[in-house]
C-alpha cells in the first residue's frame, strides 16, 4: 500500500513515518536532500529522482527515477550552478511506483534503518566533528 499524505494533523511528526509504507519525493530541486534523508533514516523506502543530492542518500537504484534530459535555471535572472531544476521523468516515476506497490519493501526498510543507525551514530558523529574541528583548535594556540 502506498500512502500519499498532503496534510495531516499529527501529534508527533514521527507518526507520519509510523503510518506510512513508502515516501515518494520526486524532487526537481533539493539543496541538501533532507526531504529524502529523513524518511530513509526512519526506515522508509524512498522513491526520488536519480540526481544529486537525492541519489547520494537513496542507495537502491530501483527507487531512483530517471530525470528528464534537460535542466532549467531555478532563478530566471541568474545561473547558479547548483540551483537548477532537473524534473523527474513522469513515466519512469509511475513505473517505479507500480513496482513498489507490488513488491515487499521490508528488506529496503531494514537496510535504510541500519544505514541510518551506523551513519548517524552519536559516537561516530562526535568523532567526525572532533577530527574536523581539531585543526582549528590547534591553530589558535
Instruction: Say what the pLDDT of residue 2 is.
Output: 45
Q: How far is Cα 110 from Cα 116, in angstroms, rounded to an integer?
A: 10
**Residue-wise pLDDT tens digits, 31-85:** 666 788 889 999 999 999 898 888 888 999 999 999 886 655 555 566 555 556 6
Domain edges within the chain: 14-139
Quote the cell numbers at residue 90: 513522469
pTM for the whole structure: 0.74
Locate the DSSP E strands across 15-135: 23-25, 46-49, 64-65, 72-73, 84-85
Confidence of residue 3 (pLDDT cuts 50, 70, 90): very low
Q: How far is Cα 111 from Cα 119, in angstroms, rounded to an integer?
A: 12
Side-chain-side CA neighbours of 32 within 13 Å: the count stands at 4
Quote the cell numbers at residue 129: 566533528
Phi, psi of 84 (to 5 degrees): -135, 160
Q: Which CATH number among 1.20.1740.10, 3.40.50.300, 3.40.50.2000, 3.40.50.720 corresponds to the domain 14-139? A: 3.40.50.2000
Amino acid at each position: 500500500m502506498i500512502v500519499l499524505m498532503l496534510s495531516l494533523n499529527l501529534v508527533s511528526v514521527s507518526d507520519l513515518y509510523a503510518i506510512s509504507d513508502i515516501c515518494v519525493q520526486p524532487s526537481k530541486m533539493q539543496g541538501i536532500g533532507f526531504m529524502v534523508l529523513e524518511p530513509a533514516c526512519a526506515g522508509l523506502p524512498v522513491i526520488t529522482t536519480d540526481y544529486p543530492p537525492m541519489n547520494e542518500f537513496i542507495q537502491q537504484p530501483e527507487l531512483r527515477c530517471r530525470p528528464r534530459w534537460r535542466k532549467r535555471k531555478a532563478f530566471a535572472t541568474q545561473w547558479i550552478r547548483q540551483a537548477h531544476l532537473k524534473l523527474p521523468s513522469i513515466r519512469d516515476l509511475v513505473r517505479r511506483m507500480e513496482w513498489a506497490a507490488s513488491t515487499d519493501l521490508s528488506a529496503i526498510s531494514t537496510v535504510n534503518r541500519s544505514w541510518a543507525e551506523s551513519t548517524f551514530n552519536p559516537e561516530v558523529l562526535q568523532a567526525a566533528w572532533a577530527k574536523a574541528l581539531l585543526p582549528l583548535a590547534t591553530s589558535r594556540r
